[in-house]
Chain A
């Protein structure tokens, strides 16, 4: 002790500090007395913070030596460990560093010593072996040091621990330590250890981590259980995120039902009648929590930083909740910050188990359904008095738990919750939450996400909701009960419910075969329609547009129901069709100048959100895109009002000329998409708005390239790519969100269809008035044929004799061209490969039907002739390949017999050639078959036309009969 005192009597300037450190290190190195060494380490420890550089530089290896040789003495071991902790800790700010020592300030000493310490021989094994010591402080400080090293040099430490025999087992044993402080420190250590390392995550799982953690959570009282529960949830999230093996483990070892009591601890009914066992556990543990808070204080930073990206957004939503709705919804009394954090993490954990757009999650979704998790989530998500962060998370969690699985969706719809004291069905409560203007954007958009997930790939649910639209005259007929399920979801983007395995739950969940479904959604259509045209709340317009868009997506019946819906915009006004109301509203919001942002005159200034006026327009455009896609009936209705098409063109030009802002890109792109859909799914006969005239508009008035540019720009803009990357709404700021995920799916499909429809090469396939839905069906193989360079070029490359004289093709084309110029132009004639430049006369002369048919027939014959020759070429190529393959195969077999061991160089290349040839052969065969398919369809159409020509009194000549005979061969 006298030695110790002497240091401090003289230790004023830096130089003396260094000298003292030197003296202490010397003593530590050379003293033979344990007590001297122990005192030296204790003194070094007290200097390590202030003279970090000197103590580290001179003492690091000596401290390691202590751990190696003096580990029988608990005190010196503990002091050495504590000194190491001080050395490896990074100073919070560099400013403090510069004043203390003359050491280079820009160098992080903590990281440098961490690195140096790890690189010394076997340090990690040494530390792991210290864990065998039962002394509290040795074990406790060892865990802390390991956590610190892991935080500083994650990858290196993870690898060292993986390599050490029984390394992870030892760390896992700490969770079973009866001393809670050690167990709690071990939790923090494991959180660091399991970060983004799948191998470690699996071993930790193998060592029963989930079972142990769930036990601890139960002991601590679930969501009420303080920061220890937060650590447990954090660790479990680490183990499960993006780790499919562990997700399977979690499901297969009955961990899912153990989440039920956790959710129950969040549910409002629990709060009112707090379950006695949980409460007693809570009391039991709480004293320890307080004890632990200091230890967590340091790591607390880690918690808020190292979670996932959602954290920031929660910050927003939280703030939003306070700013917007604090007066109405103060932070509920029983919701402490800690409980809120636990709740959010627990809900996120459930979401990790059911990542959207992943077919393998269906089993997990079903397990959750079986254990009543859906009802619990419904109760939590739709409870009004919740912290906004929890509410948002619960809505999104419920969405992903039921998403795309009809049995779960039905189960959710069957739940009843209390809203303002009244008991209502969940779908309605959900819409109330979405339409509540005082709620923050994050909550309202999360409610929308849940609503979309409720109807996704569930045509019965979709039609049930659509049937409640005001004035709808089409009765709801559940398809599922009669015809099983699956047909409706074939087009779906997300999960396809596997028809075989669903039945069990489907029948259980939906007692009366779907008839009752409509009872659960009664009133939904009305709410949606009201929200759609509520002039006070542009955000509601947008939310309802998207919700209704999801209701009718991919469902002809639901679209028809929407078409038959009539409502009056204001009380007492004459009801108009829903579609007319939509287009009227669009015209209104985009009325003079309203779109050029500066002059926005939001009538009631319902929100200060500058995005409010374009928001209504974007929403309505989005709704119409869902509506018109694949629906000639909707296109017809839309175009029936002669103002609509010019309006779209106006939208394009207006924005083209006024601004180049990001929202402008959005509106242009959506208007172009809608215009494209009017073209692609058009079966209008009248000349005003048929395909030909719309094509003219696109090509002449807008310019095809500009038009395609609008659509491409939309697909490239940040709003779009962000929405496409995540099924839920990732931002909580309304200005950042213009699209929902489902729209991005629709967009991708629609833009391909539009591009194909506009391509002159396919026009002939699509102008068939008789088969409006056919084009997609057979345009696809034809496209493959046309675009496969291997097919197109290989005959020439191989120098093969074409079965048809080469000059014949140009001749044919020439003939076609002549015809084109001689005859009046019709839409059909655009089929020729020549670029088509339309003239005003052309579109005016579409009317004469019999001439039309003759032309159609002529065109088809030309086309068939041409394709016949192509097929013949392909056939020749195929047979050529066949013979080549045959020779190669015999060669290979021969060489195999001669050299049975290693294949020679030549043989390898021959094999390679053979494989490529076989592949080519296969693709040729496929093309061939596709072409035959197309031919068959042509024949059908031709027969139909001939019949019609005959009906019309035309003549079919023998030569034409002959043609038919040929093409049928």
Chain B
């Protein structure tokens, strides 16, 4: 139904070409676009999910992987509750750069941000350069959740986004987040708060409405 209990802000980070935008598109629109324009700056997507019978709205910010956009990307860390750190299992260098990404994220984000490590392109097993075990080990060392996904076949894509949401939700239940501070990327929704400020019954067009302008406008 309309409204939501919580809104979580996510960012997707990782090297260029690892499939960040494709993961987002698969999650919000349930489709795969083999040729995707290079993301310029940051793009936006949204979808509603259900956890524990609660409607949760995910607001996802897909960042550009190139070095030149790094300072812009940093502006998004502080206000995010979750981050999907993505590498490409067929390109070892994208795995090796994870340490940089992680330290950047840790430095600029709030300490409670949930980070999920994602090895994408699991459908290309034949060209694999990073084993599942290596990914798993890296995640364990740095306290991340780990999952291999394929934006092409949609394998594990839902689980990656929803799994991250579950972690955040758990942290809320444990009282770790200060919900009065929206800067940590969590917003208590109108449904949950029950305040009369926002009219109930506002419709959501939802993520399934499609996001036909992923290419972004020009200046």
Stretch of A60-68, A291-299, A362-370, A611-619 contacting B (4+ beta carbons < 8 Å): A362-370
Rounded to whole angstroms, the CA-CA distance of A360 and B210 in the bound complex is 9
Interface residues of B (CB under 8 A from A): 7, 9, 41-46, 57, 59, 61, 71-72, 74-76, 78-79, 108, 182-183, 187, 197-199, 202-205, 207, 209-213, 215-219
Rounded to whole angstroms, the CA-CA distance of A371 and B201 in the bound complex is 10
Contact B74 A165 (CB under 8 A): yes
The one of B61, B75, B215 that contacts A162, using a Cβ cutoff of 8 Å: B75
Known interface pairs A202-B42, A242-B217, A245-B42; A371-B203 also in contact (CB < 8 Å): yes
Rounded to whole angstroms, the CA-CA distance of A657 and B77 in the bound complex is 71
Question: What total count of A-B pairs have CB within 8 Å?
Answer: 99
Contact A206 B75 (CB under 8 A): yes
Interface residues of A in 239-255 (CB under 8 A from B): 242-246, 248-249, 251-254
Contact B216 A244 (CB under 8 A): yes
Determine whether A257 belongs to the interface, using a CB cutoff of 8 Å to chain B: yes
**Among the interface residues B9, B182, B199, B205, which one has the most CB atoms of the partner chain A within 10 A?**
B205
Contacts of A244 in B (CB 8 A): 213, 215-217
Instruction: Jot down 14 A-B pairs with beta carbons below 8 A, ordered by A.
Output: A196-B219, A198-B217, A203-B75, A208-B182, A242-B217, A245-B42, A245-B217, A248-B44, A252-B59, A252-B204, A254-B204, A260-B199, A363-B205, A371-B203
Contacts of B199 in A (CB 8 A): 257, 260
Contact A203 B76 (CB under 8 A): yes
Distance (Å) between the CB of A920 and the closest chain B CB?
A: 23
Contact B75 A370 (CB under 8 A): no
Distance (Å) between the CB of A674 and the closest chain B CB?
A: 38
Contacts of B41 in A (CB 8 A): 198-199, 202
Determine whether A169 belongs to the interface, using a CB cutoff of 8 Å to chain B: yes
Contact B219 A198 (CB under 8 A): yes
Q: Which residue of A lies closest to B7 (CB)?
A: A253
Contacts of A363 in B (CB 8 A): 205, 209-210
- 6 further A-B pairs in the complex, CB-CB below 8 A; given A163-B71, A208-B182, A242-B217: A202-B42, A245-B42, A245-B217, A248-B45, A254-B202, A359-B212
The one of A198, A245, A252 that contacts B205, using a Cβ cutoff of 8 Å: A252
Distance (Å) between the CB of A202 and the closest chain B CB?
A: 5
Rounded to whole angstroms, the CA-CA distance of A203 and B72 in the bound complex is 8
Rounded to whole angstroms, the CA-CA distance of A245 and B44 in the bound complex is 6
Known interface pairs A162-B71, A199-B72; A207-B44 also in contact (CB < 8 Å): no
Rounded to whole angstroms, the CA-CA distance of A206 and B7 in the bound complex is 13
Distance (Å) between the CB of A257 and the closest chain B CB?
A: 4
Rounded to whole angstroms, the CA-CA distance of A253 and B3 in the bound complex is 10
Rounded to whole angstroms, the CA-CA distance of A208 and B203 in the bound complex is 19
Contact B72 A371 (CB under 8 A): no
Known interface pairs A169-B79, A202-B42; A242-B213 also in contact (CB < 8 Å): no
Distance (Å) between the CB of A163 and the closest chain B CB?
A: 5
Known interface pairs A163-B71, A244-B217; A367-B203 also in contact (CB < 8 Å): yes
Contact B207 A252 (CB under 8 A): yes
Rounded to whole angstroms, the CA-CA distance of A667 and B43 in the bound complex is 48
Determine whether A146 belongs to the interface, using a CB cutoff of 8 Å to chain B: no
Contact B72 A162 (CB under 8 A): yes
Q: Which residue of A lies closest to B64 (CB)?
A: A199
**Among the interface residues A253, A258, A366, which one has the most CB atoms of the partner chain B within 10 A?**
A253
Contacts of B72 in A (CB 8 A): 162, 199, 203
Contacts of A189 in B (CB 8 A): none
Known interface pairs A248-B44, A253-B46; A168-B217 also in contact (CB < 8 Å): no
Rounded to whole angstroms, the CA-CA distance of A197 and B219 in the bound complex is 7
Determine whether A842 belongs to the interface, using a CB cutoff of 8 Å to chain B: no
Q: Which residue of B lies closest to A163 (CB)?
A: B71
Determine whether A844 belongs to the interface, using a CB cutoff of 8 Å to chain B: no
Known interface pairs A198-B219, A363-B210; A206-B9 also in contact (CB < 8 Å): yes
Contacts of A936 in B (CB 8 A): none
Rounded to whole angstroms, the CA-CA distance of A198 and B44 in the bound complex is 13
Rounded to whole angstroms, the CA-CA distance of A251 and B212 in the bound complex is 13
Contact B108 A165 (CB under 8 A): yes
Q: Which residue of B lies closest to A254 (CB)?
A: B202
Contacts of A252 in B (CB 8 A): 44-46, 59, 204-205, 207
Rounded to whole angstroms, the CA-CA distance of A528 and B203 in the bound complex is 39
Distance (Å) between the CB of B47 and the closest chain A CB?
A: 9
- What 7 A-B pairs are tightest by C-beta distance, nearest first? A252-B46, A244-B217, A257-B202, A244-B213, A360-B212, A203-B75, A254-B202
Contact A371 B202 (CB under 8 A): yes
Determine whether A926 belongs to the interface, using a CB cutoff of 8 Å to chain B: no
Contacts of A242 in B (CB 8 A): 217-219
Contact B205 A366 (CB under 8 A): yes
Distance (Å) between the CB of B6 and the closest chain A CB?
A: 13
Distance (Å) between the CB of B81 and the closest chain A CB?
A: 12
Rounded to whole angstroms, the CA-CA distance of A363 and B41 in the bound complex is 24
Distance (Å) between the CB of B10 and the closest chain A CB?
A: 11
Determine whether A279 belongs to the interface, using a CB cutoff of 8 Å to chain B: no
Contact A248 B211 (CB under 8 A): yes
Contact A248 B219 (CB under 8 A): no
Determine whether A166 belongs to the interface, using a CB cutoff of 8 Å to chain B: yes
Interface residues of A in 418-468 (CB under 8 A from B): none
Rounded to whole angstroms, the CA-CA distance of A246 and B187 in the bound complex is 19
Q: Mark A682-705, 1 if CB is under 8 A from B, else 0.
A: 000000000000000000000000
Contacts of A168 in B (CB 8 A): 75
Contacts of A251 in B (CB 8 A): 205
Interface residues of A in 183-210 (CB under 8 A from B): 196-199, 202-203, 205-208
Contacts of A245 in B (CB 8 A): 42-44, 213, 216-217
Interface residues of A in 163-184 (CB under 8 A from B): 163, 165-169
Interface residues of A in 313-349 (CB under 8 A from B): none
Contacts of A205 in B (CB 8 A): 44
Known interface pairs A203-B72, A206-B61; A248-B204 also in contact (CB < 8 Å): no
Distance (Å) between the CB of B196 and the closest chain A CB?
A: 11
Contact A257 B203 (CB under 8 A): yes
Contacts of B78 in A (CB 8 A): 166, 169
Rounded to whole angstroms, the CA-CA distance of A245 and B24 in the bound complex is 14
Contacts of B219 in A (CB 8 A): 196-198, 242
Known interface pairs A202-B41, A370-B203, A371-B202; A169-B217 also in contact (CB < 8 Å): no
Contacts of B57 in A (CB 8 A): 253
Rounded to whole angstroms, the CA-CA distance of A370 and B205 in the bound complex is 10
Contacts of B215 in A (CB 8 A): 244
Rounded to whole angstroms, the CA-CA distance of A196 and B90 in the bound complex is 39
Rounded to whole angstroms, the CA-CA distance of A251 and B45 in the bound complex is 11
Q: Mark A715-754, 1 if CB is under 8 A from B, else 0.
A: 0000000000000000000000000000000000000000
Distance (Å) between the CB of B14 and the closest chain A CB?
A: 18
Rounded to whole angstroms, the CA-CA distance of A205 and B215 in the bound complex is 18
Contacts of B182 in A (CB 8 A): 208
Contacts of A207 in B (CB 8 A): 79
Contacts of B44 in A (CB 8 A): 202, 205, 245-246, 248-249, 252
Contacts of B61 in A (CB 8 A): 206
Distance (Å) between the CB of A743 and the closest chain B CB?
A: 28
Distance (Å) between the CB of B24 and the closest chain A CB?
A: 12
**Among the interface residues B209, B210, B216, which one has the most CB atoms of the partner chain A within 10 A?**
B209
Rounded to whole angstroms, the CA-CA distance of A167 and B71 in the bound complex is 11
Distance (Å) between the CB of B176 and the closest chain A CB?
A: 21
Contacts of A253 in B (CB 8 A): 7, 46, 57, 59
Distance (Å) between the CB of B215 and the closest chain A CB?
A: 8
Distance (Å) between the CB of A243 and the closest chain B CB?
A: 6
Contacts of A370 in B (CB 8 A): 203
Contact B205 A206 (CB under 8 A): no
Interface residues of A in 279-307 (CB under 8 A from B): none
Distance (Å) between the CB of A596 and the closest chain B CB?
A: 47
Q: Mark A215-259, 1 if CB is under 8 A from B, else 0.
A: 000100000000000000000000000111110110111100110
Q: Mark A257-271, 1 if CB is under 8 A from B, else 0.
A: 110100000000000
Q: Which residue of B lies closest to A204 (CB)?
A: B75
**Among the interface residues A196, A242, A248, A258, which one has the most CB atoms of the partner chain B within 10 A?**
A248
Contacts of A243 in B (CB 8 A): 217
